[in-house]
């Protein structure tokens, strides 16, 4: 009888340990699944944050993308589409001339780097909810030399899934 009670106690302890290890394994699996899903959640939060950016934050983020780059890593306009309407983005990116494609392949690629130095904006909000901005942008550009450039640009922003740049016009560029 005593032997039987001892076996039952050990069997109960063994079953209890099996159940606890199963619960622990299930919790670990849930935790790993949450960790795997975190990039998706982070990406969604970034999109939500983009939609809640104000005019000034949108222009600042846009300027960081367009004026801070290294062509060995990406072209200057890659990533700007997030802050622009389709029409404005199409106006910003260079359109390839299909007749010159053979000539383009023969031209050596020069690595260019650019860094945004300063951004100052002057705003005017219209009655229709659009915001017009005159931006003074200072950036450095290097590749064929070291240049400090001041660009004056006119931007028009509209509310479309957050603030989006609908027009971008360079008014003046001064190279130092």
**What is the rounded average pLDDT of the residues 53-77?**
91
pLDDT at 64 > cutoff 80: yes
80-128, pLDDT tens digit by residue?
999 999 989 988 887 665 455 555 555 556 788 999 999 999 999 887 8
pTM beyond cutoff 0.75:
no
Three-state SS for the chain is: CHHHHHHHHHHHHHHHHHHHHHHHHHHHHHHHHHHHHHHHHHHHHHHHHHHHCCHHHHHHHHHHHHHCEECCCCCCCCCHHHHECHHHHHHHCCCCCHHHHHHHHHCCCCCCEEEEEEEEEEEEECCCCCEEEEEEEEEEEECCCEEEEEEEEEEEEEECCCEEEEEEEEEEEEEC
**Model pLDDT for residues 27-36, shown as the tens digit of each residue:** 656 666 665 6
């Amino acid at each position: 009888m005593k032997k039987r009670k001892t076996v039952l106690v050990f069997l109960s302890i063994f079953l209890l340990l099996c159940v606890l290890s199963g619960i622990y394994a299930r919790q670990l699996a849930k935790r790993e699944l949450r960790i795997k899903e975190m990039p998706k959640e982070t990406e969604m939060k970034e999109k939500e944050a983009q939609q809640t950016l104000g005019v000034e934050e949108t222009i600042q983020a846009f300027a960081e993308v367009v004026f801070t780059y290294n062509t060995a890593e990406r072209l200057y306009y890659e990533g700007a589409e997030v802050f622009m309407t389709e029409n404005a983005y199409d106006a910003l990116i260079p359109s390839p001339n299909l007749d010159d494609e053979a000539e383009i392949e023969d031209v050596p690629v020069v690595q260019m780097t650019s860094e945004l130095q300063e951004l100052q904006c002057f705003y005017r909000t219209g009655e229709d909810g659009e915001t017009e901005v005159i931006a003074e942008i200072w950036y450095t550009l290097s590749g064929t030399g070291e240049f400090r450039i001041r660009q004056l640009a006119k931007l028009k922003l509209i509310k479309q899934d957050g603030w989006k740049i609908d027009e971008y016009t360079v008014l003046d560029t001064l190279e130092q």
